[in-house]
Amino acid sequence: FADNTISKPQGATGSGMAKDGAIRNNQFWWPNQLDLSPLRDHDTRSNPYGANFSYADAFSKLNLAKVKQDIDTLLTASQDWWPADFGNYGPFFIRMTWHSAGTYRTLDGRGGAGGGQQRFDPLNSWPDNASLDKARRLLWPVKQKYGEALSWSDLIVLAGNVALENMGFQTYGFAGGRADDWEPDLVYWGPEIEMLASDRENVDGELQRPLGATHMGLIYVNPEGPRGVPDPVGSAKNIRVAFERMAMNDEETVALIAGGHTFGKMHGAHKPADCLGAEPGAAGIEEQGFGWQNRCGKGHSEDTITSGLEGAWTQAPTRWTTLYLSNLLNFEWQQTRSPAGAIQWVPTDESLHSSVPDAHIKGKFNPPVMTTADLALKFDPEYRKIAERFLANPEEYRLAFAKAWYKLTHRDMGPPRNFLGKEVPKEVLLWQDPIDAKTQSTINTNDVKSLKASILKSGLTVPELVRVAWGSAASYRNADMRGGADGARIALAPQKDWPVNNPAETAKVLQALTTIQSDFNKGRRMVSLADLIVLGGAAAIEKAAKDAGYNITVPFKPGRGDATQQQTDISSFNQLELTADGFRNYFDQAASYKSPTEMLVDKADQLDLSVPEMTVLIGGLRALDANYQGAKHGVFTDKPGTLNNDYFVNLLDMSTVWRKSTTDGLYDGFDRKTGTKKWTATSVDLIFGSNSELRAVAEVYAFDTSKQKFVDDFVKAWTKVMNLDR
């Protein structure tokens, strides 16, 4: 599976090379230039349904039971062009589902089943996704039948569930609601320029953040062992890191691997280099989206080559059993090689070598097999304890796999209200970041007015209110729809203690807001702290605009609720911590994995902002004096705390000349004539004058004619951020 087993066919690309005539973007010529493309992807013009299409509405009309029946029928309707192993596509579909969800990584919330990204390169052509082009094509008749009411992303997950149920497993539930993407996500999948290479560990062996997999082009780890070395204990270490990055603990990890490998088989009938054509991304047009064309033997069935490993784990690969665990724990295993040359393991007891029926040839029997990664569950002491407990308690094992599978396949769907359909479990799980509906505000328009007045009378300043409202909402990340202002989790651990939120200031502001809340809630209606925090931001911005001569109302929609500490998984929420927030000019060098300006674009992407929205927010927040700890960097105005476009006017003013400061990461602005120091700034401030595309937008907000536009656009973008999670 490492370079030695899946070798690249001649002529295949996928190697980070540009060809003649290809457009070379500015990052090709100037690799350090800030890349704004993440703020321009998934344009609605790519979506054939158009901007007004609601997938949730379309899905609500779907007869889910009927769809499931159709998938179930398809599982055992073997097609000549890709015959089913053991007469059942179930295991194949489970692998497809697992690979679609398994790209999810907690550190930035990217990857996951949402969007149906497996349809697009690079994932479509990843070596680990070999043959899954066929799995999705087998599902096309179902997709064609239900059209826009069933997204590919939902169908891919549902197919895995139906497969499990078909083979005797009781699943925990299914939720629809994943809308499809129409282009590949711009995700950093690793530093390597070759598939299956691995160059992502630092000197201490730590996997580069925010990656989840150990190799380019693999979902998780190398099945043959770390860098192809058959070392089960070393493999366990890799698995633990990789599965933790997917939000899975040891118990969930054992349940998933054991449960998954209860079904199906591996495919390595011949040496890939002798038989396989290019992956879909590099294959000829006549292959119509397929890849890995196999010219050996039949090219499928008993001649199939996928991973290069060969064989089934159990004696009954299309039934839910505990055979995987009993085989793993009760047999002794010895190293061998698959016909393709990959390292794998078979029982030392040769009498077991004809206990597994062949997937295609009647009357033929094979040995059960294990990968080095499977043996990790036996040789790592912690995994082993869990595996033994599961084997002794089959119902506990079943439930653990059912729940871990449900979490795996639904982890990137955001809050419970996004979970649609009749098969959504009643229980809301902790990883869904629950908020009690009972705590939702019931305030009306008059209450909004009077509450805003009380907030402004409380003595809290504009910057304090703006920073806390921003901190509350900016924890949101679009990639997995977690975080945001709803729930007021900025008042709870761990968010209240994140350095970026300036814990002392946040505590002070929240105390004042809580007093207003308890006074108000003595009356007939109720306001949540989450709503008050957002309302505080709105009141502050209205005041700041008024002080600058603009009479505006910041739109506000009540209805947020408050979460409790018990409803908040601290370690899971810690994954949302902002190690950089250019909007508050905050940067923690040690914890950030990119430069301040790259982290700004990354955060803007997670807040679903466009380039103009990011730009106007930076200018507005600087004018509002909303920097972390009140730092003056980028506050290019003599009226801080008022909402004006001075930031842009002064940034582009030729009377200032900028030089690097003696403090790393800072810049000083001097009067060009007198040499007096006027301003200080960070790279996040100066990038809006230096990057040509950002400067073009900054100019618009510096026009004499766009003062009102600046205020209006700022309020619009601010309101969008406050409501991202709703």
The 3 state secondary structure assigned to 14-49 is CCCCCCCCCCCCHHHHCCCCCCCHHHCCCCHHHCCC
Closest distance of CB 237 from ligand HEM, Å: 12
Kindly tell me which of 236 and 578 has the beta carbon lying closer to ligand HEM. 236
Q: Which stretch binds ligand HEM (CB under 6 A): 85-93, 115-123, 473-481, 513-521?
A: 85-93
Query: Out of 55, 92, 292, 406, which residue is the one contacting ligand HEM (CB under 6 A)?
Result: 92
Closest CA to 395 of 535, 255, 201, 569: 255
Kindly tell me which of 90 and 347 has the beta carbon lying closer to ligand HEM. 90
Query: Out of 14, 91, 272, 463, which residue is the one contacting ligand HEM (CB under 6 A)?
Result: 91
Per-residue CA distances from 297 to 6, 134, 276, 284, 300 (Å): 18, 18, 12, 21, 8
Kindly tell me which of 307 and 650 has the beta carbon lying closer to ligand HEM. 307
* DSSP notation for 483-548: -SSTB-GGGSTTGGG-GGGTHHHHHHHHHHHHHHHHHHHTSSS---HHHHHHHHHHHHHHHHHHHT
Closest CA to 724 of 558, 486, 420, 469: 486
265 is a site residue for ligand HEM (CB under 6 A): yes
Closest distance of CB 221 from ligand HEM, Å: 5
CB-facing half-sphere around the CA of 96: CA atoms within 13 A = 32
Which SS3 state, helix, strand or coil, does residue 444 take?
A: coil
Kindly tell me which of 97 and 475 has the beta carbon lying closer to ligand HEM. 97
Closest CA to 163 of 85, 257, 89, 98: 89
Closest distance of CB 669 from ligand HEM, Å: 53
Closest distance of CB 593 from ligand HEM, Å: 24
Query: Out of 58, 159, 266, 600, which residue is the one contacting ligand HEM (CB under 6 A)?
Result: 266
Closest distance of CB 723 from ligand HEM, Å: 36
324 is a site residue for ligand HEM (CB under 6 A): no
138 is a site residue for ligand HEM (CB under 6 A): no
3-state helix, strand, coil in the chain (%, to 5): 45, 10, 45
345 is a site residue for ligand HEM (CB under 6 A): no
Query: Out of 94, 269, 529, 539, which residue is the one contacting ligand HEM (CB under 6 A)?
Result: 94
Q: Which stretch binds ligand HEM (CB under 6 A): 306-314, 581-589, 599-607, 643-651?
A: 306-314
Tokens of 147: 């059209």
Contact 648, 702 (CB under 8 A): yes
Contact 217, 127 (CB under 8 A): yes
75 is a site residue for ligand HEM (CB under 6 A): no
* DSSP notation for 568-630: --HHHHHTT--SEEGGGTEE-TTT-SS-HHHHHHHHHHHTT--HHHHHHHHHHHHHTT-SGGG
CA–CA dist 291, 160 (Å, integer): 22
Q: Which stretch binds ligand HEM (CB under 6 A): 44-52, 107-115, 220-228, 624-632?
A: 220-228
Kindly tell me which of 55 and 92 has the beta carbon lying closer to ligand HEM. 92
Is residue 270 annotated as part of the catalytic site, yes or no?
A: no
Per CB under 6 A, which of residues 179..218 are in contact with ligand HEM? none
Q: Which stretch binds ligand HEM (CB under 6 A): 89-97, 387-395, 454-462, 644-652?
A: 89-97
Q: Which residue has the tokens 């398809």?
A: 74
Query: Out of 75, 175, 213, 221, which residue is the one contacting ligand HEM (CB under 6 A)?
Result: 221
Question: Phi and psi for 176 in degrees, rounded to 5?
Answer: -95, 180
Tokens of 163: 């497969």
Q: Which stretch binds ligand HEM (CB under 6 A): 25-33, 92-100, 467-475, 640-648?
A: 92-100
Closest distance of CB 171 from ligand HEM, Å: 12
Closest distance of CB 5 from ligand HEM, Å: 10
103 is a site residue for ligand HEM (CB under 6 A): no
Per-residue CA distances from 154 to 98, 187, 224 (Å): 13, 21, 31
- Cα dihedral 483→45→102→272 (10° resolution): -160
256 is a site residue for ligand HEM (CB under 6 A): yes
307 is a site residue for ligand HEM (CB under 6 A): yes
Contact 314, 262 (CB under 8 A): yes
Contact 341, 271 (CB under 8 A): yes
Contact 264, 312 (CB under 8 A): yes
Tokens of 226: 């770390």
261 is a site residue for ligand HEM (CB under 6 A): yes
Kindly tell me which of 315 and 706 has the beta carbon lying closer to ligand HEM. 315
Kindly tell me which of 408 and 485 has the beta carbon lying closer to ligand HEM. 408
Amino acid at 123: L
260 is a site residue for ligand HEM (CB under 6 A): yes
Contact 365, 323 (CB under 8 A): no
Q: Which stretch binds ligand HEM (CB under 6 A): 31-39, 255-263, 587-595, 614-622?
A: 255-263
Kindly tell me which of 36 and 254 has the beta carbon lying closer to ligand HEM. 254
CA–CA dist 713, 720 (Å, integer): 11
Beta bridge mates, 659: 668
CB atoms near residue 584 (< 10 Å): 25
595 is a site residue for ligand HEM (CB under 6 A): no
Closest distance of CB 282 from ligand HEM, Å: 20
> Would strands 677-682 and 343-347 be described as parallel, antiparallel, or unpaired?
unpaired
> Would strands 333-337 and 343-347 be described as parallel, antiparallel, or unpaired?
antiparallel
223 is a site residue for ligand HEM (CB under 6 A): yes
Q: Which stretch binds ligand HEM (CB under 6 A): 259-267, 440-448, 593-601, 680-688?
A: 259-267
239 is a site residue for ligand HEM (CB under 6 A): yes
Helical ranges in 197-315 per DSSP H: 232-244, 250-260, 272-275
Closest distance of CB 584 from ligand HEM, Å: 39
Residue 363 backbone zone (phi > 0: left; psi -120 to 50: alpha; other: beta): left
Contact 384, 246 (CB under 8 A): no
Closest distance of CB 174 from ligand HEM, Å: 15
373 is a site residue for ligand HEM (CB under 6 A): yes
554 is a site residue for ligand HEM (CB under 6 A): no
Closest distance of CB 387 from ligand HEM, Å: 14
Query: Out of 59, 82, 98, 324, which residue is the one contacting ligand HEM (CB under 6 A)?
Result: 98
95 is a site residue for ligand HEM (CB under 6 A): yes
Q: How many residues bind ligand HEM (CB under 6 A)?
A: 25
Query: Out of 226, 234, 264, 414, which residue is the one contacting ligand HEM (CB under 6 A)?
Result: 264
263 is a site residue for ligand HEM (CB under 6 A): yes
Residue of 42, 99, 215, 360 with catalytic role = 99
Closest distance of CB 158 from ligand HEM, Å: 15
Q: Which stretch binds ligand HEM (CB under 6 A): 206-214, 265-273, 478-486, 576-584?
A: 265-273
Closest distance of CB 150 from ligand HEM, Å: 22
Q: With residue 659 as reference, give the H or E element that holds it.
A: strand 656-660
Query: Out of 136, 267, 398, 411, which residue is the one contacting ligand HEM (CB under 6 A)?
Result: 267
Residues classed as catalytic: 99
Task: List interacting residues with ligand HEM (CB under 6 A).
Answer: 85, 91-92, 94-95, 98, 220-221, 223, 239, 256-257, 259-261, 263-267, 306-307, 309, 371, 373
